[in-house]
Structure 1
Amino acid sequence: MDMIKLLGMGANFNRKDFGHDINLFEKKKTKDSKLSIVAEDEIPEEIDILNTKNQQNNTGKNPNSQEETSKNKDTASEFPLSPDDAPFENDSQVDVFRKSNSIRVWGTDVPNPFRTFRMMQNRYSFGKYLEKNMSKNGFTVPTPIQQQAVPISIDGRDLIACAPTGSGKTISFLLPIFHSIENRSFSKDLFGLIISPTRELAIQTHNQIQLLTPKKKISSYMLTKNPISNAMQDPKSRKKFNILIATPLRLVYAIKNQEVDLNSVCHLVLDEADRLLDEGFIEQIDDILTACTNSKLQISLYSATIPSMVEMLANKIMKDPVKVVIGASNAATDTIKQKLIFVGQEEGKLVEIRNMIQSGFKPPCLIFVQSIDRAKELFFELVYDGINVEVMHAEKTKQQRDRIIENFKQGKLWILISTELMARGIDFKGVNLVINYDFPQTVASYIHRIGRTGRAGREGESITYFTKEDAPYLKSIVNVMRQSGCEVPQWMVELKNPSQTLKKNMKKRPIERKSPSTAPLFDKKAKQRKKNIINQSKKKSAPPS
């Protein structure tokens, strides 16, 4: 394929090029039109990040005749009818179903799963609007985590859920909250609290709620750094929200300043629970749990990776929890083709990326690096090569981060370079390739990074570069690849596992790496001097502690 055509996917062409205003995502013209414009249902699959094809295919009418459907608009089911809608006849059928869907459960009196959303609707009464909105947005077939986790939570049980990235965990914890609000008369109280480690993931969850529920039925609020309005702070005129989504630090600040009252919260969800309970948020989570005083509080923990230490900690704050694992624990989804590439020294990484671009690749692509400085340096290198690339890190403003994410989702960017900020939870359905430019510091980081591709059953590819310095940690990634069903060379299988000391050291301090920048040494030194001057001036101007 022509390189220009390949890298031009997702771009908007102006009238100077073709004599007309052409939009790649514009609907087809009439037969008399001289131009052949790509319609929505003909968007190339590699840039269909919003997954419009699947949504259109999944939003078809009920398989019954059109006449019958038109006569029964108020009673017709939005979910497709299936022979699997019937309840399980005995425990052996349940066991066979769980085994066939790689569902493993631990706990007492675990509720049976459901096969289809119609079966779920027959067992638990959901509002008609939910069926319509789920079908409209392409959620017609439940994933294994949804099949088993939803009944557990609806039955009021605490839950520890471990499922691969892109397997539908968000819907799994939202459906029980919707059900409880509808059926337990919590229409005026804050019922559900969802904690996310990053603002981007919290926004994504909030948007998902708005897609599935009308505001008149269920209202949600995204807690940001902006001060809450006086109307919300005044108890008499405070607007009521059923669901609150927040990051830990912002929520603790709101609790201490009496901006929110969590006494009525009955369902607490920790999204990406391993990070919330193991990576610096534990004190904030403790404050949040203390503020949730409702005796009926139900806790759910979701993540693609739940280490044993996190599970032990979770058991201390939960009541008789049920644990659900989909597939192998701490493994990636089998839809991702994983590769390890030896690059020798740091310089080899940039050579590999440039070779890949010259030989042709299917954008969009995510590249992960271990620090903000390295992200900036790699960004300038690829920009110099004329690549349509952007960089994402914590120093970007909220507006910049939102704009970058939106452009990437719309296919306006070919490559997005990011730190660990984008490694968790963010749903980019059309990402074809993830590159670990810098070797991940933990197994969990690796699983979450590559989980940005191969989502919702789509195929994806991940490439991890490693140098001589990374070799001692290689076996940890090899183990994940094997558990995920990837073929691994025998010499990698025979490598020794890194010691616990090595793992701890790697987690605390990443390997010091040579800069990816190819700028002259004089320019690098000048840049470093300028950076040192700025840092010193900041220290002098800072108030005494």
Structure 2
Amino acid sequence: MIANDLFRKLSCGAKFSNKNRLPVKRKLENGSTTSLPKLKVCIKEETDTGRKVKASKVTKSLVATPVEDTRIKSEDSSSDDSGSEQENREQKKSAQQKKIVPPEKVELINQLRLNRLRNQHKIHVKKSRHSPEVPNVIESFDQLSTDYGVSNRLVANIQSCYSTPTPVQMQAIPILLKTHSLHACAPTGSGKTAAFLIPILHHLKKPMKCGFRALIICPTRELAKQTQREALRLGDEMNLRTHVIHMVDDPKKCDYSFASGRSYDILVTTPNRICYLLSQNPPKIDLSNIQWVVIDEADKLFEDSKNSFRDQLDTVLTACNNPSKTIALFSATQTRDVNLWVAKNVPNRIRFSIGLINGAVELVDQKLLFTGSESGKLLAFREMVAQGLHPPVLVFVQSKDRAQQLFTELIYDGLNVDVIHSDRTQRERDNVVRAFREGKIWILICTELMSRGIDFKGVNLVVNYDFPPSTISYVHRIGRTGRAGRPGKAVTFFTKDDTVNLKRFGEKMRPH
């Protein structure tokens, strides 16, 4: 259809007027066109294969329109904006990475980790209102040099004896390195001796000619000699002198005053001997320079018996008149008398325990054996021998007479057995202990003398031939086995007369 015909049909009946007609603009003349700047562009011509690129400068005149200018400007501005946004993101990310955690949050995190570590190793800390801040536990002996400045020589000696710290060492060593007084309760065989020797050796550092600077009190001479051996082993090549008082009746050999000219650094002794030297006129020992007082097996020293060392201990502490001394008490059990004495005399101490208080060693398989009567005990023991014993074996009896009677019975059975008690001379006792350690004696009959702190390596069986007089005695007796992470076994004989005492031992029994 012709366009004019279509227009006529659509505009049929319409009237047009020239009044409202829009003015027609004149066409621009050719000479009036505004010339825009010409751009010179360098164009690179690329071959079809794309391997060789020929660059040739070709000059072309391009008329830049306003639209193209606007587009170019917007691209430039958008690229600038995107670049600034990316920079802002990177700055925020780096700021977050460098964000400093508040000190309160760091302290809270460290405290939660410390509590978890203590719970894991069953370390229960109890502070008094006068107690100082409790130091953190150590997880390895390497921390002693990095955190506390312990010498490399001492750390090497420690690592030659122990691989990792035991729970009592984890908490006791940092406390004593800070020279805080301490009351610790830990099972037998848990490494208490090294827990107080390591801080003492660190602080004494080297020998000095000013008298004794550390005093370690033990209930028996056997335990004192064992402590001396451990001090010599840990203090190898440090030249610190550790002494045990052997005799007090020789005026020349037992004079430890300044006038004697004899100089030692560490004294390990029993309360009886040191009190005797202090009672002489003039005193044969000077304790005015004592910086460390360690009471090992404190529960034994405070027992209510004729051999109680409580009064003697007060005399010794009075002689140690250095106001800056550090006092440390270690034991396997806790009693009310010990706690009262410590609260009175060492108010600023830190107190902690390992595991169940007054509990038996978890590695010991405990067994009760009913024998009916006293005569049945010997039959029961012979039956155990017939079934096969795994030496070394410790047999505990109630008195020296009972020990000698049982020894007489067993020696005629052809058993490799010996006996130790306080009626034997010191030389005989030393020889028996040495033979038992070397495996020359398989069965050793002993009284309560050997139940306190003596460390026999690898005791497989403890036999309570006579029923223990107290739960504390029971814990110490069976603590001769199951030491240093090794399992052990304990068998307790009881008769009809002992049944009344079984109830109070129920909590201590841990049969496997």
Coarse TM-score class (shorter-chain normalised): 0.7 to 0.9
Whichever of the two has the greater Rg, that structure is 2
CA distance in 2, matches of 1:186, 1:351: 58
Of the three residues 273, 276, 280, the one matched with 2:298 is 273
Deviations 1:159-189 (A, max 9, x none): 1100000000000111111121129x96744
Deviations 1:302-345 (A, max 9, x none): 00011122111111110311111000000111110000111111
Of the three residues 383, 392, 396, the one matched with 1:368 is 396
**Structure 1: runs of 5 or more not aligned:** 1-86, 488-545
Aligned residues of 1:277 and 1:285 also touching (Cα < 8 A):
no
Aligned residues of 2:256 and 2:286 also touching (Cα < 8 A):
no
**Structure 2: runs of 5 or more not aligned:** 1-106
Aligned residues of 1:231 and 1:237 also touching (Cα < 8 A):
no
Of the three residues 239, 252, 273, the one matched with 1:250 is 273
Shift of 1:232: 5.3
Distance verdict in 2 for CA 1:88–1:211, change over 3 Å: farther
Match of 1:191 in 2: 213
TM-score for the superposition, normalised by structure 1:
0.70
CA distance in 1, matches of 2:315, 2:257: 23
Deviations 1:34-84 (A, max 9, x none): xxxxxxxxxxxxxxxxxxxxxxxxxxxxxxxxxxxxxxxxxxxxxxxxxxx
Aligned residues of 1:165 and 1:425 also touching (Cα < 8 A):
yes
TM-score for the superposition, normalised by structure 2:
0.74
Match of 2:406 in 1: 378
1:515-530 counterparts in 2 under 5 A?
none
Match of 2:47 in 1: none
Match of 1:534 in 2: none
Match of 2:145 in 1: 121
1:419-438 counterparts in 2 under 5 A?
419-438=447-466
Aligned residues of 2:211 and 2:287 also touching (Cα < 8 A):
no
**AA partner of residue 235 (structure 2):** T
2:227 is the counterpart of 1:202: no
CA distance in 2, matches of 1:96, 1:205: 33
SS in structure 1 opposite 2:205? helix
CA distance in 1, matches of 2:463, 2:257: 49
Of the three residues 235, 256, 264, the one matched with 1:213 is 235
CA distance in 2, matches of 1:286, 1:178: 25
2:126 is the counterpart of 1:106: yes
CA distance in 1, matches of 2:230, 2:112: 36
2:111 is the counterpart of 1:91: yes
Report the count of equivalent residues.
Answer: 396
Aligned residues of 1:273 and 1:301 also touching (Cα < 8 A):
yes
Shift of 1:228: 6.3
Shift of 1:283: 1.1
**AA partner of residue 317 (structure 1):** N
Distance verdict in 2 for CA 1:254–1:429, change over 3 Å: same
1:94-493 counterparts in 2 under 5 A?
94-107=114-127, 108=131, 109-136=133-160, 138-182=161-205, 188-214=210-236, 216-226=238-248, 227=250, 229=252, 233=256, 235-236=258-259, 238-257=261-280, 258-279=283-304, 280-482=308-510, 486=511
Aligned residues of 1:174 and 1:209 also touching (Cα < 8 A):
yes
Aligned residues of 1:145 and 1:169 also touching (Cα < 8 A):
yes
Shift of 1:347: 1.2
Shift of 1:135: 2.8
Q: What value does the CA root-mean-square deviation take over the aligned residues?
A: 1.9
**AA partner of residue 412 (structure 1):** K
Deviations 1:269-291 (A, max 9, x none): 11000111234111110110110
CA distance in 1, matches of 2:483, 2:211: 34
Shift of 1:231: 9.7
SS in structure 2 opposite 1:456? coil
Shift of 1:126: 1.9
Match of 1:65 in 2: none
1:37-116 counterparts in 2 under 5 A?
90-107=110-127, 108=131, 109-116=133-140
Shift of 1:229: 3.9
Shift of 1:447: 0.3
Match of 1:5 in 2: none
